[in-house]
Amino acid sequence: MEEIIAFVLVPAGYLAGLAVFLTVAPAIVLLRAAALLMQLLAGHIRLLAGVLVRRTPEFQILPPYRPQDEEVKAYRNYFFGPGARDLRQVLTLQRRSYARTTADSLRAVTSRQFTAPTRTRALTVPYGLTLYAGLVLGAALSPVPLALLLALYGLLLLLLTGGAHLLAGALRAVDRTMLYMRRLPTGMICPHCYERVPYPAYDCPRPTCRRRHADIRPGTYGILRRRCECGQRMPTLLMLMSREARLQAYCTHPHCGKPMNADAGHMPEVVVPLIGGQAAGKTQLMAAMLLALENAAVNGGPALRLADDDTEAGYQVLREILRIQGHTRGTQKDLPRAHSFVLGAGRAERLVHLFDTAGERFVDRDETDALRYARAARTFVFVLDPMAVDDFWTRLEPSPGPLLDRTLASTVHPEEVFGRSVQAVAAMGAPVRHSRLAVALSKTDLLAEHGLAPDRLDDSDTARAWIRDKLGLHSLVQAMELDFQEVRFFCTAAVADETARVDASISRFVEWCLRP
Ligand SMILES: [Zn+2]
Ligand SMILES: [Zn+2]
């Protein structure tokens, strides 16, 4: 009887139980597969949160972008590197997590149902095999939804990255357009090396940092703002700098790197080079021009603001020269070559650079390299010292010999200075033929004192005729009118009275020179 039970009934019962189990086994397979899938999806969510939000060390498997490793010491914009890094971390971690979760589940079934079952293997082995089937099914199917989710994330990142690049490009284009509208398509002028700077470098505004940022425009390190290594935020565009928060600009040319005007790039620039021989009266004329503009500003004319410390310091020296009516006998070495100031207000603001060519500059060939700024000029000033012309001393009535001190005269003949300067400036690529020339007949206060000056001091034609006929400079006048598009002659008296009022001749002259 025992044999019947052991070899017939029990196996028959077992087989019957197995048959019943087989009817529910597919459901178990599906449930186990679904459970694995849900577990993997939950892991995916945790992974995304860990990589994108929590950013704890276990989710940082790739080296981060650090500002100290960058060429420019600033934090990268998320869509210019760090975003792609996150995607790569998610992909790697997802692969690891998938393999680990599946393997852990299989191992758990092996140990609980096969190697160390808590019940008889006759029951656990079929159940274990069913779970195996479920896990294999789940592991085979789950890559599909996971891949879809990852693709969605990748697509979103791609779209945002593309959008960020487009936005950066658009903002750069807008900034570029603004520079065009300010007539600065090739950049701003460095008052130290006289080169054009397409876009200046800027220093971090934090006083303890001052790291130099070579190119702050929207891109890798920020769209609207960038963050310096020190944590300080800075605007990325000229148009994002408010008047109060303009950053200090620096020249980008490797041999210069000196500070530029803080207003550079924010308004159109006007360059007016003053050409003339040594002691021809350029420095006094420049001083008188600045003083005339300052007086005009006080009396309701366009506002005047000196653009940098050099000009500020230089202007004090210039005022002093005017006040003592000192004949400077050649430009002092300590005066800056460029006097920069902002003229006008609001939209009419212009950054004006008056460049003193320092007398010998055009005569000395090696020095002409410094004339690069002249390329940006559309108005030139030629300072003509009548006392430097021999005919002045021999042909004029009354003879100036006993009346004037000849040592005050420039030692270089105007014809010589003019010829060399125009040649040098044209060789620099300045469009001389499309430029205007203001000829300032200097020292007319001295001439007028002794009745030597032209009859009318406020008339260009009279001054022209006087230069041609009395000074015998026919060919010079002819050359000027050939070389330049428009030539105007001015009698100038670079003097001021006790109340710092400048001679009226200067106001007319300045107005013409700075006419937009
Ligand atoms: Zn420079
Ligand atoms: Zn900084």
The residue among 141, 160, 175 that closes a domain is 141
Q: Based on the domain organization, do 71 and 217 belong to the same domain?
A: no
Whether 181 is covered by a domain: the verdict is: no
Residue 515 half-sphere exposure toward CB, CA atoms < 13 A: 12
Q: Directed axis angle between helix 414-427 and helix 474-483, to 10°?
A: 20
**Confidence at residue 28, expressed as pLDDT on a 0 to 100 scale:** 95
| Pair (285, 241) in one structural domain | no
The pLDDT of residue 448: 82
In a domain, 154, yes or no: no
Decide if 161 is inside a domain.
Answer: no
* Total number of domains in the chain: 3
Q: How far is the CA of 204 from the centre of ligand 2 (A)?
A: 4
Centroid of ligand 1 to alpha carbon of 333 (angstroms): 19
Ligand number nearest CA of 202 is 2
Map residue 456 onto helix, strand or coil: coil
Question: Is 289 part of any domain?
Answer: yes
273 and 239 within one domain: no
**What does the pLDDT look like over 164-215, one tens digit per residue?**
999 999 999 999 998 898 888 888 888 888 888 989 999 998 999 989 998 8
Q: Are residues 119 and 202 in the same domain?
A: no
Specify if 463 maps to a domain. Answer: yes
**Is 372 in the same domain as 399?**
yes
Distance (Å) of CA 506 to CA 319, 356, 357: 15, 17, 19
In a shared domain, residues 300 and 245: no
Single residue among 73, 107, 141 that ends a domain in this structure = 141
Cα torsion at 198, 204, 207, 208 (round to 10°)? Answer: -130
Instruction: Assess if residue 310 is contained within a domain.
Output: yes
Q: Could you tell me the two tokens for 187? A: 């950049």
- Ligand sitting nearest the alpha carbon of 257: 1
Specify if 55 maps to a domain: yes
Render pLDDT for 281-310 as a digit per residue (tens, 0 to 9). Answer: 888 888 889 889 988 998 888 888 888 887
257 within some domain: no
**What is the per-residue pLDDT for 306?**
86
Q: Same domain, yes or no, for 364 and 469?
A: yes
Shared domain for 202 and 281, answered yes or no, is no
Percent of the chain whose predicted confidence (pLDDT) is above 70: 95
Same domain, 273 and 374: yes
**91 shares a domain with 196:** no
The three-state secondary structure class of 174 is helix
List the CATH number of the domain containing 365.
Answer: 3.40.50.300
Residue range(s) defining the domain that contains residue 225: 188-250
| Ligand 1 centroid to residue 251 C-alpha, Å | 4
Name the least confident of 57-61, 109-113, 157-161, 455-459.
455-459
Q: Is the same domain home to 91 and 43?
A: yes
Q: Are residues 381 and 431 in the same domain?
A: yes
Q: Which ligand does the CA of 253 lie closest to?
A: 1
Most confident of 69-73, 141-145, 374-378: 141-145
Expressed in angstroms and rounded, the spacing between residue 211 Cα and the centre of ligand 2 is 5
According to DSSP, the β-strands at 350-356 and 269-275 are parallel
pLDDT of 497 reads 76
- Write the pLDDT tens digit of every residue in 335-384: 556 788 999 888 888 999 888 775 555 555 555 556 777 888 899 999 99
Ligand positioned closest to the Cα atom of 210: 2
